[in-house]
Amino acid sequence: MKPLNKVQLITYPDSLGGNLESLDIVLNRYFKDIFRGGVHILPPFPSSGDRGFSPLTYLEIEPAFGGWEDIKKIGENFPVMLDLMVNHISRKSEYFKDYLAKGDESEYSGMFITPEKVWPEGIPSDDEIQKIFLRREKPFSTYGQGDSGEEITVWTTFGKTDPSEQTDVDINSPVTKKMFSSILKNFHKYNVGTVRLDAVGYVIKKRDTSCFFVEPEIFDFMKEISELAQGEEITLLPELHSHFSRQYKMAEKGYWIYDFILPYLILETLFTKKSGALKKYLNERPEKQFTMLDCHDGIPVKPDLDDIADSEAARNVVDICLERGANLSRIKSSKHKSPDGFDVHQIRGTIYSLLGEDDDTYIAARALQFFTPGIPQVYYVGLLAGANDINNENAKTDGREINRHNFSIDEVEQAIKKTVVKRLLELIRFRNDYPAFNGNFSVPDSDEGSVILKWENSELFCRLIIDLASMNSSIEYVDSDGELKLWQI
pLDDT band of 397, cuts 50, 70, 90: confident
Q: In the prediction, which pLDDT does 202 show?
A: 96
pLDDT band of 340, cuts 50, 70, 90: confident
What is the average per-residue pLDDT within 469-477?
98
**CA-to-CA distance for 157 and 169, rounded, in angstroms?**
10
Q: In the prediction, which pLDDT does 35 show?
A: 98
Among 239, 259, 294, 304, which one carries the catalytic annotation? 239
pLDDT, tens only, 154-176: 999 999 899 999 999 999 999 99
pLDDT, tens only, 269-318: 999 999 999 999 999 999 999 999 999 999 999 999 999 998 899 999 99
Q: In the prediction, which pLDDT does 430 show?
A: 98
Amino acid at 33: D
**CA-to-CA distance for 147 and 168, rounded, in angstroms?**
23
pLDDT, tens only, 116-138: 999 988 778 888 888 998 888 88
Q: Is pLDDT of 365 > 90?
A: yes
Q: In the prediction, which pLDDT does 465 show?
A: 98
Q: In the prediction, which pLDDT does 69 show?
A: 98
Contact 487, 464 (CB under 8 A): no
pLDDT, tens only, 17-63: 999 999 999 999 999 999 999 999 999 999 999 999 999 999 999 99
Sequence-ordered strand ranges (E) for 381-483: 440-442, 450-457, 460-467, 472-478
% of the chain exceeding 90 in pLDDT: 87
What is the average per-residue pLDDT within 72-80?
97
239 counts as catalytic: yes
pLDDT band of 249, cuts 50, 70, 90: very high
Q: In the prediction, which pLDDT does 302 show?
A: 92
Sequence-ordered strand ranges (E) for 120-225: 140-145, 150-155, 166-168, 192-198
Q: In the prediction, which pLDDT does 393 show?
A: 66
Average pLDDT, the chain: 95
104 counts as catalytic: no
pTM of the model: 0.96
Measuring CA to CA, which residue among 43, 27, 53 is closest to residue 82?
43
SS3 454: strand
Among 83, 198, 232, 259, which one carries the catalytic annotation? 198
What is the average per-residue pLDDT within 230-242?
95
Measuring CA to CA, which residue among 19, 45, 2 is closest to residue 186?
45
